[in-house]
A and B are shown apart, each in its own frame.
Chain A
Amino acid sequence: MTGSLARAALAILAASSLSANAQSMPARAVPPWRIDPFPSTYRPLPRTDFLLVDATILDGAGRRIDHGELLVRDGKVVQVGPALAHPAGIWVIDARGRWVTPGIIDVHTHNGTYVVPLTDIDTESSDVSELNSPNVADTWIETAVNVQDTGFSRGLEGGVTTMQILPGSSPIFGGRSVVVHPIPATNIAAMKVPGAPQGFKMACGENPKSQDADAHDIHGPTSRQGEVTYIREAFMAAQEYRDAWNRYAQGKAATPPKRDLKTEALAGILAGDIHVNMHCYRSDDMATMLEVAHEFGFTIGSFHHAAEAYKIPAMLRGAGTCAAVWGDWWGFKMEALDGVRANAALLDRAGVCVSMHSDSAITGQRLNIEAAKVGGAARAIGIDVPPERMIRWVTSNSARILGLQNRIGTLAPGYDADLVIWSANPFSVYARADLVVIDGAVAYDRAKPPAHSSSDFELGRAGAPRP
Chain B
Amino acid sequence: MRYLPLTPADRAEMLAAIGATSIDELFADVPATARRAGLVDLPLAQGEIEVERALSKMAAKNIAAGSVPFFIGGGAYRHHVPAAVDHLIQRGEFLTSYTPYQPELAQGTLQALFEFQTQVALLTGMEVANASLYDGATACAEAMAMAHRITRRGKAVLSGGLHPHYREVCATYAQFSGLEVEALDPSPGIVEKIDLDNETACVVVQNPDFFGELRDWSALAARCHQQGALLIVAVTEIVSLGAVKPPGAMGADIVAAEGQGIGNALNFGGPYVGLFAAREQHVRQIPGRLAGQTTDTDGRRGWVLTLSTREQHIRREKATSNICTNSGLCALAFAIHLALLGETGLTRLARLNHAAACNLADRLAAVPGVRLVTGSFFNEFALRLPIPAAEAVTVLAEKGVLGGVAASRLYPERDDLADLLLVAATEMVTQQNIDSYSDALAEILR
Q: A and B, one complex? A: no
Which residues of A approach B to under 8 Å, CB–CB? none
